[in-house]
């Protein structure tokens, strides 16, 4: 099984490296995903405080995606931990959801909605060490689920399993000490290879937690794919196991030891290893847009 996992990781690494290199070298992508949202959406909004304000969340998402691809490039092709790029991608991801929520609570919701798949971003915030951002984003997600017609999660486990999002929900509940059970929430054991991670997250034995890390990493790697029933079907998480890193962060919050374990997933790129918390970055665009956005929407809380 270990040989299969190693081969699967190497194949995934090769495919992602080729995809990211091609993406970075394509000038259209930079123009489409980075320059245009600023020039055509953000700058007009800064000029009059109203124009295209409902497009700001989508612009933030595009900028986040651009920085994430830069992070992938640095990690995959330069084998360096992309701290700056990853932090910028993370902060734009966070404000994408918060500004979207502000629009959703306005008289013109503009079609924005949150789904269960979005909850994996809470694990991303935890993986970066941004505990306040994780808490705030989870509260935003859960509040919006409550007011949406199809309720919490909206997709039953039996009709389409959602491993990473529901694991993120359960990790968040473990961190916050919540025993709430949400609509459509699967049983812990239905998470299969991720189940031992949940059971061992607060186990005082570092070796027990280490064994759970290896089982989770095995399940993560063998679940990589693009089919609906693949446990890890979002390419952004293939070599960035945010659910495992989030579990480590939560455990660290309880002052419990995190063992060093060997696994192809953790050694595939610098994104696979647990790191100290990243500083929350300062960004000129956000510093200009967010206060004005808070003013014109009356819904955006800037204190995180």
- pLDDT tens for each residue of 90-105: 999 999 999 999 999 8
CA distance 223 to 246: 18
Tracing tokens 């705030």 back to the chain, one arrives at 136
The CA radius of gyration of the chain, in Å to the nearest whole number, is 19
The pTM of the whole model exceeds 0.75: yes
- pLDDT tens for each residue of 169-185: 999 999 999 999 988 89
| Range of lowest pLDDT (28-37, 211-220, 228-237) | 28-37
| Banded pLDDT at 82 (limits 50, 70, 90) | very high
Are 183 and 153 a contacting pair, CB within 8 Å? yes
CA distance 216 to 195: 8
Q: What is the pLDDT of residue 288?
A: 94
Are 91 and 99 a contacting pair, CB within 8 Å? no
pLDDT at 150 over 70: no
Q: What is the pLDDT of residue 153?
A: 67
Where do the structural domains in the chain lie, given as residue ranges? 2-297
- pLDDT tens for each residue of 17-33: 888 888 777 777 767 66
- pLDDT tens for each residue of 279-296: 999 999 999 999 999 999
Higher pLDDT, 193 or 3: 193
């Amino acid at each position: 099984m270990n040989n299969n996992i190693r081969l699967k990781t190497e194949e995934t690494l090769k495919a992602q490296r080729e995809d990211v290199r091609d993406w970075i070298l394509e000038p259209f992508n930079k123009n489409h995903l980075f320059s245009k949202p600023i020039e055509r959406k953000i700058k007009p909004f800064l000029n009059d405080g109203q124009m295209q304000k409902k497009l700001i969340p989508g612009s933030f998402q595009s900028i986040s995606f651009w920085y994430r691809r830069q992070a992938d490039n640095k990690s995959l092709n330069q084998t360096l931990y992309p701290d700056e790029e990853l932090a910028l991608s993370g902060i734009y991801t966070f404000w994408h959801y918060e500004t979207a929520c502000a629009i959703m609570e306005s008289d013109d919701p503009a079609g924005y909605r949150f789904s269960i798949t979005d909850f994996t971003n809470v694990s991303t915030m935890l993986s970066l060490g941004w505990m306040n951002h994780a808490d705030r984003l989870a509260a935003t997600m859960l509040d919006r689920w409550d007011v949406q017609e199809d309720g919490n999660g909206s997709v039953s486990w039996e009709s389409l399993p959602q491993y990473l999002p529901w694991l993120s929900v359960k990790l968040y509940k473990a961190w916050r000490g919540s025993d709430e059970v949400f609509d459509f929430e699967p049983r812990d054991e239905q998470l299969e290879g991720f189940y031992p991670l949940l059971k061992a997250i607060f186990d005082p034995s570092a070796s027990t937690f280490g064994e759970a890390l290896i089982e989770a990493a095995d399940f993560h790697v063998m679940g990589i794919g693009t089919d609906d029933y693949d446990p890890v079907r979002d390419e952004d998480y293939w070599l960035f196991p945010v659910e495992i890193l989030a579990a480590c962060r939560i455990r660290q919050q309880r002052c419990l030891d995190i063992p060093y374990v060997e696994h192809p997933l953790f050694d595939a790129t610098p994104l696979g290893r647990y790191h100290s918390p990243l500083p929350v970055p300062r960004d000129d665009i956000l510093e200009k847009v967010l206060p004005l956005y808070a003013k014109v929407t009356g819904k955006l809380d800037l204190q995180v």
